[in-house]
Amino acid sequence: MSRVERASARGEVVLPGRSVEEVYAPPKNAAPDEPRPAADAEAKESPLRAAPWVATTYFGEGLPYSIVHQVSAELFTAFGASLQAIGYTAFYGFAWNAKFLWSPLVDMYGKKRVWVVATQLVLGLSILALAMPADRGDLPVVAWGLIVVSVLAATQDISVDGFYLDALPEKRQASFSGLRVAAFRAAMLVARGGLVVLAGIAGGWRWAFFAAAAMMLLLGVGHALFLPRPSAPARPEIEALAVRKTEASYLQAFVTFLRQPKVGLVLAFILTFRAGDALMFAMHTPFLKDLGLNLTQRGFVSGTWGTVSSIAGSILGGMVVSRLGLERTLKPISILQSAAIPLYAWLAWARPGIGAIAAVVLVEQFVAYAGSAAFMVFIMRRCQGAYRASHFAIGSALMSLATTLAGSVSGHLAKGVGFTTFFLLAFLASIPGVILSMFVPTNRADEAPAKV
């Protein structure tokens, strides 16, 4: 039986005369870090030409994410919702946890550019539809409407990430990883700070939702006009595989991700890399309150300067990874990210003044988001072939799932053992990720199938 026949018997999609191994094998004469030929024109352009659309697309990712996860909590609190109801807003995260289930559809149907524009426009209209219910405090309508927004936002994430991988050569992908994280964080600052403040100043939540809808619609229109159109792929057989609208093609998105080398280590690393930070961040606000910081102080220390520090960390982290390579930076960045967590245990034990508290918050936010920039490069290196958007969605969804699970137990754990012990446990939870960073593959994923 030939290789093609064996592949077909296993239910794999093959092209006439080509096995899956041959389809996914890189060009024989290609250097390991050579940009895809399809992106040669982009590779020769100045980074300044790509920076604006990278920033605006990832700002577009961060804005609805913050509305769903942060602004909704502020809205429910303002209208006197119970603590249980406010806590239930965490379940909106399931849209991001499960986005890998429909991510192959973005690869299989239509162009990533069209998906980006369409989801942003529909998001703008959906947020606009919630303005008046939010203004009158119709929380059930808002709660159901935010489910729609969360699914649309998760779908936008898939399309934006896929477009990023298609439109930029690999070397540029690494160099812009910090800008991606920074733009996302800037959107969260605009939403958590600007929109909430606008609602208070203007005397109604409708103005916050009007402003958010206007930003999303402007992004959609602007990207429809100015978002670049990536040149045709140089390996059309791969794209032909991607557009086969069959059950086998859908499943291949998952099969090809799981057949990369050392997939067991890769999956374990994705699930554990942010475990310690996820525990710590979930209790960040109540911990600062326990230290005696009032709402204004918490907003200043964490919401403003903490966010600025995280943006700086993500940009610098992306620059360092781009210049030195992921191979040389993943392990030290993982160690620094883990080593910053015990600083919170020291705060809980020493209970110093606001100056020391602010310093620790700034350092930890800086290091954590430098780690996020490196982690994004790692996930991008796992994305190859016709299913790049699907592979990124799978990797980021697994990371999101780990964050959701860790965050869900953080409150019970902190209440049971106290903050000092809690943060030491968070540090211990970060150690497996550090150890795995020494063994996971940091080069591009070999696209030829490997045993799971």
Tally of structural domains, the chain: 2
Domain assignment of residue 217, given as a range: 50-231
On the question of pLDDT at 236 being above 60, the answer is: no
**The tokens 């996820």 sit on which residue?**
278
Whole-angstrom Cα Rg for the chain: 22
In terms of domains, do 293 and 385 share one? yes
pLDDT band at 157 (very low <50, low <70, confident <90, very high): very high
The pTM (predicted TM-score) of the whole model is: 0.67
pLDDT for res 332: 94
**Cα gap 393→246, rounded to integer Å:** 20
**Which is nearest to 337 in space by CA: 299, 295, 305, 366?**
366
Claim to verify: residue 278 and residue 420 sit in the same structural domain:
yes
Distance, C-alpha 344 to centroid of its chain:
25
pLDDT in tens, 363-415: 998 999 889 888 888 988 887 777 777 888 888 888 877 777 776 677 778 87
Lowest mean pLDDT among 148-157, 160-169, 245-254, 298-307: 245-254
Question: Is the model more confident about 262 or about 249?
Answer: 262
Nearest-CA neighbor of 343 among 248, 426, 232?
Answer: 426
Tell me whether residue 2 is in a domain: no
Say which residue, 248 or 306, is predicted with more confidence: 306
Question: What is the pLDDT, as a whole number, of residue 399?
Answer: 81
**Residue-level length of the chain:** 452
**DSSP string for 206-261:** HHHHHHHHHHHHHHHHHHHHHS--PPPPS-HHHHHHHT--SHHHHHHHHHHHHTST
Co-location of 432 and 380 in the same domain: yes
Predicted pLDDT at 240: 47
428 and 298 within one domain: yes
Final residue of a domain: which of 202, 231, 260? 231
How does pLDDT run across 97-145, given as a tens digit for each residue? 888 888 888 878 888 899 999 999 999 999 999 999 999 989 899 999 9
**Beta pairing partners, 15:** 18
Least confident span in 247-256, 390-399, 422-431, 434-443: 247-256
Q: Which amino acid is at 247?
A: E
Angle subtended by helix axes 388-417 and 247-258, to nearest 10 = 60
Report the percent of the chain where pLDDT is more than 70.
Answer: 79
Q: Which of 231, 262, 280 delimits the end of a domain? A: 231
**3 state DSSP class of 15:** strand
